[in-house]
A and B are shown apart, each in its own frame.
Chain A
Amino acid sequence: MKRIVSIWFPHFPLDRLKRQVRVEHPGQAARFVDETLPFALVVKDNQALHVGAANQAARQGGVAAGMALADAFALLPGLQTRPLHSARDAAVLKRLARWCVAYAPWTTVDGKDGLLLDITGTARVFGGEDVLLRRLTTRLRGAGFTTHIGVAPTPGAAWALARFGMSKDGADAAVFHGGNAALPAVLGPLPIEALRVTPQDARTLRRLGLLTIADVKALPRVSLARRFSSSAGAATVVTRLDQMFAQQAEPISPLAPAQIFQARTAFSEPVLDPQSFALHLTDLLQRLCQDLALADQGGRALTLVACRCDASRHQITIQTARASADAAHLAKLFEHKLPELDPGFGIDALVLMATRTEPLAPEQSDLKEPDLKNQVRGLHSNTHSNAVAQLMDRLSNRLGAEHVFQLKACASHWPEYAERGQAAGEVPAKSAVRASVNTFVDAMECPSLPPRPLRILTPPEVIDVEKCLPDCAPTHFRWRRVRHHVVRASGPERILPEWWRDGERQTAARDYYDVEDGAGRRFWIFRNHPVQREELADTDQARRDHVDADHRHRDQWRLHGVFA
C-alpha cells in the first residue's frame, strides 16, 4: 500500500514574502511580521485589483482572499498592501519540492500552495513515519512556512486530510492509518470541497443538498456521472471519488531533478604540487563548458572544491558579469585565485561546479563587418561587447566586484546622494549616441543646474575662513595649509537636506560657492547654513539653546570639490 504525504501551505504567498524580507532586509522584517497590523497581497486580474492573500489581522477584519481591493479598503482603511508575485511564489514552491527530495524521491508541486510526496518505503530510513513527518514539519516551520500535512494511501485522500482533516491534538499532521477499506469512514464527514472538484461543481453539489463526501458517495454512480459529465476532463466528480478511494490509480509524476553542472577528477595519490592544479583545472573547465554549452547555459559563478586527504575541504569561487561557457576566459579568471587554493596535506579530488547558471545570450554578429574567424570558432567568442564583459570579469575578480563600477545618477540634489556606484556588469549599450547629443538632452532636462566639479572629496574637508560677510563667498581661505586668495566667485547655491531620509533631519542646509583663486584654480566650497534663531518659536527654548551651542560648529566652511 502506498503512503502519500500532501503538504499544504495555507498562507504561502505571505509566508514567502515574510521570509524574503527577513533574509534580504532584516531591518524591515518587523513591519511584515507584526500580525496585528492588517496586511494583504494584491493580484490584478481583468483590470481589477483583488485581494490575493490576507494576514490574520486582515482576516479578522473581514478581508478574505478573492475580495475586491476596494471592498477590503472599505472594511479596513488602514490595510497595507503589496503586489503578489505568483511567478516568484511558483519558483519558491518548486525549490521547496526539490528540497523535499531529501525525504522522498518522488515529489512534485501540487497546485499553487501544496506539495505531494510519495514516502512509500522511505519512512524506515528515518526511523518511522512519525519521525519523518516531525522532521519535515519542524524544518518547514523553521523556514517560516505554515504547514498542514495529510498522510493517506492515495493523493486525493492525503490532499483532503491536509486541507480539511482534523489532526489529533498535539500531532503535526492528519495521518490516516489503516487500509483502503477504512477510508470512507474517515473521509466521509469531510465537506464536499475536499473532493478536489471545480468550484462550480462544488457549488452545484451544495445546491443539491450534498454537503459531505459521504453524501456524494451514497449516490448511484450512473446518475452522478451523467449529471457532471460536462466538467473538465480529469476533474469530474466520479473520477475524483474513485481516485480518493483508491479505485482508480493516480500516479504522481515527479519533478525532473535540477541539472547540476559539475566535473570532477580524482587522483590515485594525494596531490600537493600547485603547478598541476592549473592543468587539471583546464581539463575540468573543458568538460564543464562542454556540458554547459550543450544545455545552452553559461556559468555566472563557478566553485572549485579541493577535497583534501584529511577529509577537509577548501574552495575558491569566481563570478562573471555575464553567463559564459568559454573555457579560456574562465581559466583566466581562475588564474589569480588558483594560488590561494590551499592543498593542506594533499588533495584527493578536485570538483568544479557551476553554482549559478543562466541561459547563454545569443550573440548577434555584426552584419557590416562579418568576422569570419569568429564564425569558425563558434558562437561564444570574441565579439566586442563580450570582450568588454570579459575584461570587467577579470578586473572585478582581482580587485573585488564592488571596486569595479560605473556611476549612475540618482534622483537627488544632495551631492552625496546624487550618484552611486553600480557594479560594472552590464556595460553600456546605449551610449552609442554621441556624447554631445546626450549632454544637450541633459542640459534640457536640468536647465538651471550650476556647473559641478570634476573631482569630489569624500568627505568634504574643513577649510579655514578668517572672516566673511553673510551670504558671500570668503575672500581668503586656507586649505591643506595653503592660503588661497579668492578672485572670482559665484553663488551661493543653496542645497537643502532631504528630510525624508533617515537621519537627515538634523543636517543643515548648505550654501555652495564656486570660487576661483589667483592662480586660476576653481574650488567648490560650502558653508553649513546656520539655523536662524528667530525662525524657532518662543516656546522652543531647548531647541534654541541647542542652536546657540551648535552655532559655531554649524557655521563652518568646507571644501567639497575641485574643478578641472
Chain B
Amino acid sequence: MGLESHVTADDQASTAARSVVRRRSNTPAALAALKRQIQLLDGTAALRLEPDPATLRAPTLSERSAFWQFSVAEVDQALGPAGLKLCGVHEVVPDAQDDMAAAHGFILALLQQYPLHTADTHNAASHNTGTVDVDGMRASPAARSRAPILYCQSHAVAREFGVLSGAGLTAFGWQREQFVLAASIRDGDTLWAMEEGARSGALRAVIGSVGRASFKQTQRLNRAGLEGGVPVFLLRLPGSQAPGAVMSRWRIRRVPGHSDAYDAQAPGRLAWRINLDRCRGGRRGTWCLEWSHETYRFDLVPPFSTR
C-alpha cells in the first residue's frame, strides 16, 4: 500500500510537470523547473552546488557538508554531483550470513567520513543565512561532533550475530564511550528507538539492526532522519530483499584484502566488496574497497590486482 502511494505521488508530479511543459514550450526556465521538481522528488534538492537562479544565493558550507564523501573518486562519482545525502535512512545488507560483522565495519568506517571538518565554518554560515536551527531542536555540528551514536538491536539479533565490542571499535577510530547501546525485545521496539533517536536530532548517527521492517516503517524512519538531520543506518538481515524507502542501499561482502606487510601468514587488511544497489541522485555500482585503520580512509582495490 505504501508503495502505491509512493507511485501515485510520482504520477501527480509528472502530470504537473507535463502541464508546465505544455504551458511554456521548451524554454530553459521550464526545463529548470522540471529538473527542480525531479530533485525535490528525489530528496536531492539541496544537491546543487552551482548558485540557485531562483535565490541567487551561493550554496552554503552547511549544505556542502551535508553529504557523505568516500574520498575515492570512482565511488564519489557514482554518488551524484555532491555526494550521498547525509541524513535519512541508508540501508546496509550483508551479502551472506557471515558478513554481518563486515556490514557493521562498513558503517563504522563510513561514519568516520562524517563531515566534521567544516563544523566551525558551517556554524558561521548557518548563522549568516539563518537556514538551520530554526526549530531549536537541531544541534549545531560542533555539538553534534560530541554527540553519541545510538546503536540498537534486539536480543534475537544479539544472540544470532553477537554484541558490539568496545575493544573492536578502535580499529575504526571509535571509542566505546561514543556509543550508546539499546537492547530491545522486539524489532518494533528497535525501530521505535531508532525513530526517537533520529527525531531528537541530538545524536551523531543512529545504527539499528532490524530483522523485519515494512516499507511503511522505513518511510517513517527516513522522514524522522530527514527531519532530525541525523544519518540512520538500517542493517537488514543477510540477503534481505525487502523494499524500503531509503536514501541508499548497500550490499556488503567481505573479500580477502592485501596480506600483512610484515607477516604473510597473518590475516590481511580489511577489504569489502561493496554493491551500491540504490542511491537517490546517483547510480549503481560495485567496488572493492580496503580500509586503512591507520588513516581511517577507504582505498580502492583494483579489480584484477594480484593478492
Contact = CB atoms under 8 A, between A and B. Distances in A.
A binds B: yes
Contact of A455 (B104, B140, B201, B268): B104
Interface stretch (A253-261, A266-274, A436-444): A436-444
B165 interface: yes
A119 B259 CA distance: 85
B193 to A, nearest CB: 6
A431 B172 contact: no
Contacts of B168: 451-456, 561, 563-564
A438 B172 CA distance: 12
Interface string A375-405: 0000000101001101110110011000111
A438 B174 CA distance: 8
Contacts of B98: 482, 519, 521, 562
Contacts of A430: 177
Contacts of A70: none
Interface stretch (B25-33, B50-58, B178-186): B178-186
Q: Which of B98, B127, B164 has the most CB of A within 10 A?
A: B98
A516 B254 CA distance: 11
A519 B202 contact: no
Contacts of B16: none
Interface residues of A, number: 67
Contacts of A306: none
Interface stretch (A42-50, A172-180, A238-246, A365-373): A365-373
B163 A456 contact: yes
A406 B254 contact: no
A451 B254 CA distance: 18
Contacts of A457: 162
Contacts of A449: 167
Interface residues of B, number: 73
Interface in A511-528: 514-516, 518-522
Given A391-B203, A432-B146, A406 B181 contact: yes
B196 interface: yes
Interface in A423-470: 424, 427-432, 435-436, 438-439, 442-443, 449, 451-458
Nearest to A486: B267
A442 to B, nearest CB: 6
A193 B188 CA distance: 71
Contacts of A431: 146, 148, 175, 177-178
A407 B179 contact: yes
Given A419-B167, A564-B108, A519 B254 contact: yes
Contacts of B139: 384, 387
A250 to B, nearest CB: 56
Given A398-B192, A406-B176, A435-B173, A454 B105 contact: yes
B163 A455 contact: yes
A490 B267 contact: yes
B4 interface: no
Nearest to B269: A520
Contacts of A487: 256
Given A388-B147, A418-B167, A519-B255, 20 more contacts: A368-B142, A371-B136, A384-B140, A387-B139, A390-B200, A394-B196, A398-B189, A398-B192, A403-B183, A453-B165, A454-B101, A454-B165, A455-B101, A456-B163, A457-B162, A458-B162, A488-B267, A521-B99, A563-B101, A564-B108
20 contacts: A366-B140, A373-B136, A382-B136, A392-B180, A399-B189, A407-B164, A407-B166, A431-B148, A439-B173, A439-B175, A454-B165, A455-B163, A456-B168, A457-B162, A480-B97, A482-B97, A514-B266, A561-B162, A564-B104, A564-B105
Interface of B: 97-102, 104-106, 108, 112, 123, 127, 133, 136-137, 139-140, 142-143, 145-148, 150, 158, 161-184, 189, 192-193, 196-197, 200-203, 254-257, 259, 263-268, 270-271, 296
Interface of A: 366, 368-369, 371, 373-374, 382, 384, 387-388, 390-392, 394-395, 398-399, 403-409, 418-419, 421, 424, 427-432, 435-436, 438-439, 442-443, 449, 451-458, 480, 482, 487-490, 514-516, 518-522, 561-564
Closest A-B pairs by Cβ, 5 of them: A564-B105, A452-B167, A454-B168, A387-B202, A520-B256
